[in-house]
Amino acid sequence: KAGVTQTPRYLIKTRGQQVTLSCSPISGHRSVSWYQQTPGQGLQFLFEYFSETQRNKGNFPGRFSGRQFSNSRSEMNVSTLELGDSALYLCASSFTSGDSGANVLTFGAGSRLTVL
Amino acid sequence: AQTVTQSQPEMSVQEAETVTLSCTYDTSESDYYLFWYKQPPSRQMILVIRQEAYKQQNATENRFSVNFQKAAKSFSLKISDSQLGDAAMYFCAYRSRRGNQFYFGTGTSLTVIP
């Protein structure tokens, strides 16, 4: 069973540009969550999508957005990049969207974004 | 919002010895789930162990066990017979009974000394 796949693994952008990251969840998983990981801050929740609908959103500016397609694949977009957006962006999928003790997150390897 | 605190940024342990990683959390909820995730240098986060708050019995997975103290809001991870492959960043996480948002601590970097 294939795991969570994130592309690209590494990318370098300059301030003001925008970036799109992609995540393919485990087959059968309908929930996709995105987290930003930075040293010292740990993992910060960005948003969660379930059945193409945003279910929950973290405390990030509107420059961060996402979407989910009918095949559960998800993309996140960051516009007008700032130096502080440099981070590892992790995608995680789960079978349901909470309300289940069995629900755990399975993570991808992440996309390392560097903003110059 | 719930907060998760890991007060040990770095820990080290001799191979074959036992180490305990600390985690405390703050919540007003009575029903929730707690997790320990491991992130090796390759960066893929993997689930180590999970605890359901309504279960008093501490979870165990092979060499990994937890000490769950609900009243104290403490959730420590004990690694027995430490192996070189245990070297990683360990994250403690909280999830409400409802919803799918996980709250993570800032992590503890574990070094295993041969």
Structure-derived torsion over alpha carbons of residues A45, A47, A49, A53, reported in degrees to the nearest 10: 150
Q: What is the pLDDT of residues B24-33, one digit of tens each?
A: 999 999 889 9
Name the 3-class secondary structure at B17.
Answer: coil
A49, A87, A45: which is closest to B94 by C-alpha? A45
Q: What is the pLDDT of residues A32-91, one digit of tens each?
A: 999 999 987 889 999 999 999 999 899 999 999 999 999 999 999 999 999 999 999 999
pLDDT the model gives residue A41:
80
Is the distance from CB of A107 to CB of A4 less than 8 angstroms?
Answer: yes
Tokens 């893929």: give the residue: B44
Enter the tokens of residue B42: 């390759």
CA A5, chain centre distance (Å): 11
Phi, psi for A41 (deg, rounded to 5):
-105, -15
Q: Chain B within 8 Å of A56 (Cβ-Cβ)?
A: yes
Q: How far is A2 from chain B (nearest CA, A)?
A: 14
Which residues in chain A have their CB less than 8 angstroms from residue B3's CB? none
Q: What is the pLDDT of residues B50-103, one digit of tens each?
A: 999 988 899 999 999 999 999 999 999 999 999 999 999 999 999 988 777 899
Which residues in chain B have their CB less than 8 angstroms from residue A110's CB? 43-44
Q: Where are the beta strands (DSSP E) in A14-109?
A: 19-24, 31-38, 42-50, 53-57, 64-68, 74-78, 87-94, 106-107
